[in-house]
Amino acid sequence: MDRREFLSFKKTSLQEDFGKPKIERRTTTGLAKYSGTWTKQEAAHLLRRTLFGPKLSEINAFSKKTVSEAVDSLLDTTNYVFNPPVNNYQNQTADAAVPYGTTWVNAPLNVALEPNRKNSVKAWFWSLPAKQSTSIMEKMILFWHNHMPTQMQDTPVASLCYTYVKVLNDYALGNYKTLLKQMTVDPSMLYFLNGRLNTKKAPDENYGRELQELFTLGKGPNSKYTEDDVKAAARVLTGFSINFTTTPFSTSFSSANHDTTDKTFSSFYNNTKITGRTGVFAGSLELDDLLTMILSVDEVSKYICRKLYRYFVYFDIDSNAETNVIEPLAKIFRDNNYEIKPVLKALLESEHFYDSWNRACVIKDPLTHQAGFVRQFEMPFPTSTDYEANYQVYGLGSYFGQITQMNLGDPPSVSGWEAWYQLPLYHRIWLNSDSLPKRNQFQDYLMLYGHKVKNFTFMVDPWKISNQFINPKDADAFIQEASEFLLALPLSTSQISNLKEILLPGGIPNYNWSDEYRAALDTGDPNHVNSLATATSKMRNLFKSIMNLSEYQLS
């Protein structure tokens, strides 16, 4: 399928969504553990969905594991490292409080330098998936960032932007209630949703509403909380604010600004009464009661599991998926006291996840497309001590994310990115006549030209990949291995024929590529220099052509 056919197919699908009964999905698989064949194809599917661009070595390594071993490895954060952003702007703007190459996240507020620090944190945020290990952590950070977003552009202090990401990191694979509690009182969230302005004299309902409508229960037919519940939640949350006298800014609580009266909720919450508290711990205690009450409603676990399903499996949840996947998954969530790992383990080990209908059916988000490309091709970054050069590279990725609809750190609204919630389009939103050419531009630029930063060029080295192929000297084998590595769908005969024309133009015999590849590797061959240049150019164009196919947009 070429790009035009791909997009026209999607357009037709969209038209069929309007005003017509939902067509049942075509699979009845559920959460039973996957027991089918385990090859590179299955390992690649798992890694494409849980990492940003799996490396060939990772696919090979994971194909030698069992399903459980592979999933356990992804969920293991023992060796996960989370380093904060650093001062990379010293060469342009001096920061007396922060030496070049050291972190600014605990530095005193400097109004003149906040724009530099905010650019630093946004570029750093993009680098996390581009340089990730084989851990699901970065995918989960993006999941929670979309689920409980703030906007860095509206956050006045860069250090709060960092602490927000750190909360996501610290609790991404932990307990959902704990994550909710930490995010509720995070200074960035207190600023973004007006929690800092919520007092007993002037209750602000903003966060109390979004806590229920977006962060826990959703807007479905079984989410029957009331306006009075929103008001009661706002009263529970009174008194929290931001302490602007600490370095960095921190969360504070004023018992004088807290509503100490009892708060009674609707029959949806079984008429629960949260007893009003006094003293310095009143806010924390009532917040815990509020979250306990909300999480006692089964719809919360179903709502979160539906979002996880749409993120990792497919956007459409039909009756079969609801019955066979969502409901049992939600029970696992509740039975494990809202621990996140057991849910992910059950989903990623399930026969449903590996069902053929659930492969190659998700359009990559921009971060998966761009950071994944960088990671997949194992592109080397500048030397670790050249912070300015590194952050310029990170900034390039951040910029292309912004112009292809994913401004990391600044989702378009408190609901996150439309592609993960907006009916009926969902992930189709990522692709349009503006974003698709820019996606291709990013990969073409780094494949053919490279991004020059001082004396360093950030560019794909095709030999790093081809040297890992089993039989790169054979043109047919090269194309097959390259396409299987980069694409989740097999190519048609005509597509393969077009790609072969790149390695063997004019239909010249296969041995020409074999000879050229061999000479390119042999420094003693009299044709080495020319063969190296020609083979390198051909490989770049081959990889570029594969990635410009519509199939490359799918995971």
In contact, 539 and 493? CB cutoff 8 Å = no
pLDDT of residue 26: 65
How would residue 2 be classed by pLDDT, with cut points 50, 70 and 90? very low
Quick count: other Cβ atoms within 10 Å of Cβ 59? 21
Backbone φ, ψ for residue 316 (5° rounding) = -95, 125
Task: Please say if the pLDDT value at position 292 is more than 80.
Answer: yes
Distances 516 to 360, 370, 501, 506, 535 between C-alpha atoms, Å: 34, 31, 15, 16, 7
Task: Please say if the pLDDT value at position 7 is more than 80.
Answer: no
Task: Please say if the pLDDT value at position 8 is more than 60.
Answer: no
Span 319-341, pLDDT tens digits: 999 999 999 999 999 999 999 99
pLDDT of residue 4: 37
In contact, 205 and 213? CB cutoff 8 Å = no
Pairwise CA distance, residues 53 & 397, whole Å: 14
pLDDT of residue 25: 53
Residue 258, token pair as written in the block? 């807290």
Pairwise CA distance, residues 57 & 64, whole Å: 11
**End-to-end CA separation in angstroms for the chain:** 15
Pairwise CA distance, residues 384 & 177, whole Å: 37
What's the pTM?
Answer: 0.95
- Looking at every residue in the chain, the average pLDDT score rounds to 95
Pairwise CA distance, residues 526 & 507, whole Å: 25
Distances 71 to 32, 45, 257 between C-alpha atoms, Å: 15, 12, 47
Span 108-154, pLDDT tens digits: 999 999 999 999 999 999 999 999 999 999 999 999 999 999 999 99
pLDDT of residue 53: 96
Task: Please say if the pLDDT value at position 217 is more than 60.
Answer: yes
The dihedral of CA 271, 272, 275, 281: what is its sign?
negative
Bond from prior residue into 424 cis (ω within 30 degrees of 0) = yes
How would residue 16 be classed by pLDDT, with cut points 50, 70 and 90? very low
The dihedral of CA 456, 461, 463, 466: what is its sign?
positive
Which among 460, 470, 471 is positioned nearest to 542, based on CA atoms? 460
Backbone φ, ψ for residue 341 (5° rounding) = -60, -45
pLDDT of residue 27: 85
Output the furthest CA–CA distance in the chain (Å, rounded).
88
Residue 125, token pair as written in the block? 């945020």
pLDDT of residue 93: 86
Pairwise CA distance, residues 14 & 377, whole Å: 33
Instruction: Characterise 480 by phi-psi region: left (phi > 0), alpha (psi -120 to 50), beta (else).
Output: alpha
Q: In angstroms, how far is CA 147 from the centroid of its own chain? A: 11
Span 59-101, pLDDT tens digits: 999 999 999 999 999 999 999 999 999 999 987 789 999 999 9
Task: Please say if the pLDDT value at position 174 is more than 50.
Answer: yes
Task: Please say if the pLDDT value at position 12 is more than 70.
Answer: no
Span 414-461, pLDDT tens digits: 999 999 999 999 999 999 999 999 999 999 999 999 999 999 999 999
Query: What is the residue extent of each domain of the chain?
Result: 73-358, 463-553
Rg of the chain, C-alpha, whole Å = 26
List, in order, residues 6 or more apart from 547 with CB less than 8 Å away.
373, 440, 443, 447, 486
Q: pLDDT: is 552 or 18 the higher one?
A: 552
What single DSSP character describes residue 108? P
The dihedral of CA 62, 358, 379, 529: what is its sign?
positive
Span 19-75, pLDDT tens digits: 334 445 568 999 999 999 999 999 999 999 999 999 999 999 999 999 999 999 999
Query: What percentage of the chain reaches a pLDDT higher than 90?
Result: 94
List, in order, residues 6 or more apart from 533 with CB less than 8 Å away.
none
Task: Please say if the pLDDT value at position 17 is more than 50.
Answer: no
In contact, 273 and 216? CB cutoff 8 Å = no
